[in-house]
Chains A and B, each alone.
Chain A
Amino acid sequence: MPPQLTLTANIPDPDDFYEALLAAHEGLSKAESDALNARLILLLANHVGDPAILREALRQASRKPAS
């Protein structure tokens, strides 16, 4: 079975992570936050590396939220 995008809970302490994510943006302007997000995406995408997983992540992220 090829590696797949993990869509089950995988972050050991979700509250800690979420807090850290918001803290990283604390006090930043919109432009600075956008830049931080872009750097974060690139860092994580490189860590993943696998093109099939990246494609699947793009697909999942592109799904329109249910209205």
Chain B
Amino acid sequence: MSDTAAAHEAPTSTGIDHKKLIMWLFLASDCMFFGTLISTHLLYRKLFPAGFTDAEGHQRFIQDLFSIELTSFSTFILLMSSFLMALAVSAMHKGQVKSFRRNVLGVIVFGLIFLGCQVFEFTHFYHKGLTIQNSVLGSTFYVLTGTHGTHVAIGVLWLILLYFYSFTGKLGGHMGALDVEVAGLYWHFVDIVWIIIFTAVYLVEYLGPYGIWGSGLPAVVK
């Protein structure tokens, strides 16, 4: 809520807490942010469906690169972290700080697993020849998924700080629950964005034998 303690008791005009409202506004803005990044990636996929050329001059296809099993796993992990986040928020609303800590620790670990998968993925793709510098695909892919990864990393950092803050005993009551809920809103949003990225950047490449952009190799050739 606001910086003024008087406002703690004073009801807001809408009945929505200031902190919650401002997080919703930020998320609205962030929608446009990711919308622009995803559009950039999709526009370039449509323009250059052929993938990229690696350092040896070989034409490479995006399906050669992706490990859909790994990405599906990390997507699942991120989804489950959202589930734990919901439990953490609920625990805080009930004033169960210990349950909150357990669940939020789970979110942090799952978030770190997701980030680890992304680091592995980036390294793997880099060694397969996709760099930020050698193609438009590399630029859009790394910047889009990297920006999302940055969001996750900020979320993890935030939750780690909340986790340790809960030991000071100051995270409690309505304000404490609100602080956790606002962090939860952010976390769920970042999760939802990943569902969209996973669909638009990864899954559609596997639609039909040639991918949605009509570029991929038929499964048999692979």
Co-assembled chains A and B: no
- Interface residues in chain B, defined as those with a beta carbon under 8 Å from any beta carbon in chain A: none
**Interface of A toward B, CB cutoff 8 Å:** none
